[in-house]
Structure 1
Amino acid sequence: MAIKLVVDSTADLSQDIIEKYDITVVPLNVHFGDEVFKDGVDLNTESFFAKLQNSEVMPRTSQPSPGDFYKVYTSLLAEGHSIISIHISSKLSGTYQSAVIAKNMLEDADITIIDSKSASLGLGLIAYQGAKLIKEGKGVKEIQEILNKIIEDQLICFGVDTLEFLQKNGRIGKASALIGTLLNVKPILTLNSEGIVAPLGKVRGKNKVIPYLVEKIKEKFNDDLVNVAIAHALTPEQKDELLAYAIQELNISEILEGNIGSVIGTNTGPGVIAIVAHKKIV
């Protein structure tokens, strides 16, 4: 029985990877007032941030419904597939819970649902490793065990221009958001072991963000061989600089690059630069 991989759109995977590994993507929703857009379908990174800059209302996001997952799962099951479904941190979105509800509607279906405790290319990197394991012919149980090890091991670090979006969307408190208003202070954040946004540090000056991000990755992994992902929101020059610095300082097996999509962008705003890493396991 073939295994099919399902992810949600917050994985921010490139179309090339989605097509190469035949990954099914379930989109989240982005709301601008009464307008509703499917992430990655009706809005790409460029169109989202253009709309954000011209909008008078703060966008919000919502998870796919259990019915959305039910349709995807029943279609794949009808083709005779087992399913591994990997999703954004359950502490950041109700997406994982929607997937669980859909699974429970399908008694005895061969569906494995995984909480990545991550987001954006953090989730994308986990899903990518899962896709490669499927292609290698590994079984569901072995893949789940390996992915859980990756989830436990993964470190995600990101710098933001402002904490306004995270605060307004309820991802951090007002007190934490005040840090970002200090002159020339750039907050550095992470997702902790529970998959919750947490402060990692702060630097004074934009030029110190990239060295700090790579330093934090190096502190954890030293010279271990790592898989890395780098993501950005309208900061291509910073992305290139981070990529070059990471290659220089880290012992990298493989690198993914990508844009931060509209759902994650709703919560972070533009100007985000992120690096994710985990020890190469297979």
Structure 2
Amino acid sequence: MAVTVVTDSSARLEPEVLARWGIQQVPLHVLVDGLDLLDEVDQVPSDVYAHAHVTTAGATPADLAECYRRALAVSGGDGVVAVHLSAALSSTFSSAVGAAREFGAAVRVVNSRSAAAGVGFVAQAAARAAADGADLDAVEAAARAAVPRGHAFIVVHRLDNLRRSGRIGTAASWLGTALSLKPLLRLDVDGRLVLSQRIRTASKAHAALVDAVAEVVGDAPATLAVHHVDNHDGAAEIGAALGERLPHVDAMSISDMGPVLSVHVGGGAVGVCVTVDAP
């Protein structure tokens, strides 16, 4: 058998990608008007970010333990490497660490320190190592090596959602609302969402996003994922601009950000996740 990789639904991995690499996925929770919906399992309203009474929750210890148990069985006892949403953004990682204790050293939990496709990139790095026949230690090492190669940036059109969810300081939220700024945010090395630049218009913010991605990629081979919340046109424009700036990058996708993250960043948001290939 082979080491099995587990991730959570924040990773935005398509079903065919999950199937290709044998990645198991545990859903996160979206609570809408008191109804607990499972991401990628239940039908979540496309405009969930606009609902007045909506929150999100990480995967529970019970969810995670059951997923790890299945994954361990699939691995034939070779072990599990679990890659999850940044610990600074979700309770899922801490719950995962607790759930993994039941399985001893057979389940290794990795903090991606990222979100959306950034989580998926780390999970796929681990899955590729597993597919090549690497043992549990080596698959875990492949996942951990992929973490610092990742970068994530996002332009948020309003900071109200982030303010309500507590994902960014109240002072920054007030500033963005009061002055109609379109801030460029990024995930720092610890996977925390921080303010990168204060920008007054969406067009300039999108240009700054492209500049930031181009700077971290440089001439290196990389894979990019452009995400959006109900803003496909904006995402397509950013994708086209990145294609012009980085013609050597031939792996880029455009997709929605998913309901869990959209609740926190709000409508119109556009982000880019990057993984720079290992030398």
Q: Is TM-score (shorter-chain normalized) higher than 0.5?
A: yes
- Partner in structure 1 of residue 67 of structure 2: 72
Please tell me whether the aligned partners of residues 90 and 96 of structure 1 are also in contact (alpha carbons under 8 angstroms).
yes
Match of 2:276 in 1: 279
Which residue pairs with 1:12 in the alignment?
Answer: 12
2:196 paired with 1:200: yes
- What does residue 86 of structure 1 align with? 83
Residue 152 (structure 1) aligns with: 148
Correspondence for 2:161: 165
Structure 1 position 169, deviation (Å): 0.3
**TM-score normalised per structure 1:** 0.91
Question: Gaps spanning 5+ residues in structure 2: where?
Answer: none
Structure 1 residues 177 and 56: alpha-carbon distance in aligned structure 2, compared to 1, 3 A threshold? closer
**Contact 1:6 1:85 (8 Å CA) reproduced:** yes
CA contact (8 A) 1:179 1:187 kept: no
Q: Which runs of 5+ in 1 are unaligned?
A: none
Q: Could you tell me how far apart the structure 1 residues matched to 2:125 and 2:234 are? A: 25
Structure 2 counterpart of 1:42:
42
Is 1:214 matched with 2:213? no
Summarize the alignment of residues 134-153 of structure 1 with structure 2, pairs less than 5 Å apart: 134-153=130-149
User: Which of 252, 256, 271 does residue 253 from structure 2 map onto?
Assistant: 256
| CA deviation after TM superposition for structure 1 residue 202, in Å | 2.5
Equivalent pair of 2:25/2:67 in contact (CA under 8 Å): no
Query: Partner amino acid for 2:14?
Result: S
Deviation per CA, 1:211-251: give whole Å up to 9, x if none. 21121122233212222121111111111111111111123
Question: How far did residue 146 of structure 1 move?
Answer: 3.1
**Contact kept in structure 1, 2:2 and 2:131, CA below 8 Å:** no
Partner of 2:33: 33
Deviations along 1:143-164, whole A, 9 cap, x unmatched?
A: 3323323211321111011111
Name segments (4+ residues, structure 1) moved above 6 Å: none
> Is this contact kept in 1: 2:49–2:267, CA < 8 A?
no
Secondary structure in 2 matching 1:98? helix
- Alignment pair present for 1:112 and 2:108: yes
Pick closer, same or farther for the CA change 1:176–1:118 going to 2, 3 Å: same
Amino acid aligned to 2:196 = L
- TM-score where L is the length of structure 2: 0.91
Instruction: Please tell me whether the aligned partners of residues 9 and 28 of structure 2 are also in contact (alpha carbons under 8 angstroms).
Output: yes
1:63 matched residue in structure 2? 58
CA distance in 1, matches of 2:259, 2:58: 13
AA aligned opposite 1:159: V
2:224 is matched with 228
**Structure-1 separation of matches of 2:85 and 2:62:** 18
Q: Is the 8 A contact 2:49 2:262 kept in 1?
A: no
CA contact (8 A) 2:236 2:254 kept: no
**Paired-residue identity, %:** 25
1:165-222: CA deviations, max 9, x gaps? 0110011111101232244521110111111110011322222233211211222332
Q: Number of matched residues?
A: 276
Give the 3 Å change call, closer, same or farther, for CA 78–134 of structure 1 in structure 2: closer
Q: Distance in 1 between matches of 2:85 and 2:29?
A: 14
Using the TM superposition, give the Cα deviation of residue 16 of structure 1 relative to its aligned residue in structure 2, in angstroms: 2.4
